[in-house]
Chain A
Amino acid sequence: AQSVTQPDIHITVSEGASLELRCNYSYGATPYLFWYVQSPGQGLQLLLKYFSGDTLVQGIKGFEAEFKRSQSSFNLRKPSVHWSDAAEYFCAVGAAGSSNTGKLIFGQGTTLQVKP
């Protein structure tokens, strides 16, 4: 079955510290991978995406993620967290082509709290 697992429900980091949010997926086909961020009561903003090619992808707001096929992982990282990064982060997987075009499967999300 297709699924996305975000093992950490809640993470707290100090401002200026580095951040890594974990994402593991189970998907039979070649996956498209995404990270979205959601502020309270808001919609989802796309941070970055991986379709193919270089397994280290850069996104907005200084975020990056690395695709590791052997580990079925797509972890999100940021070298130095800002207080404004506090939000909910969602990893999602989708399929290229076929009848699954457009459908995204989301993880449960990780809540990031930033301490001053």
Chain B
Amino acid sequence: DAGVTQSPTHLIKTRGQQVTLRCSPKSGHDTVSWYQQALGQGPQFIFQYYEEEERQRGNFPDRFSGHQFPNYSSELNVNALLLGDSALYLCASSFYSRGPEAFFGQGTRLTVV
């Protein structure tokens, strides 16, 4: 049973560029949440997708957007990258009906230069 998988593992982008990160949830899970973890900090909730819709959103600008596909996989898109977007981006999967227990992927390390 594969766990949560994320791609790519590392990424270097230039300020102003756009980036897409991908996540496949744990088998059987129907909900994907994205978190941003800056160096030395705890993860911060970006948004959550269920039934291909954004269900909740944290305090992040509209430059951060997402998508969920019929197979429950998800993408996180960030436009107009800033140096401050450099972070570890974590994907978490869960069952929507079972509350907030989430399983995390290994993350994508994004560096903006």
Do residues B45 and A103 form an inter-chain contact, with CB atoms below 8 A? yes
A33 to chain B, nearest CB (A): 10
Do residues A97 and B104 form an inter-chain contact, with CB atoms below 8 A? no
Interface residue? A71 (CB, 8 A): no
Q: Which of B56, B58, B99, B107 makes the CB contact (< 8 A) with A99?
A: B56
What number of A residues sit within 8 Å (CB to CB) of B?
29
Chain B residues contacting A94 (CB-CB under 8 Å) are: 99-101
Chain B residues contacting A11 (CB-CB under 8 Å) are: none
A104 closest partner in B (C-beta): B100
Chain A residues contacting B88 (CB-CB under 8 Å) are: 41
Q: Which residues of B contact A (CB under 8 A)?
A: 4, 6, 31, 33, 35, 40-45, 48, 50, 55-56, 58, 88, 90, 92, 94, 96-97, 99-107, 109
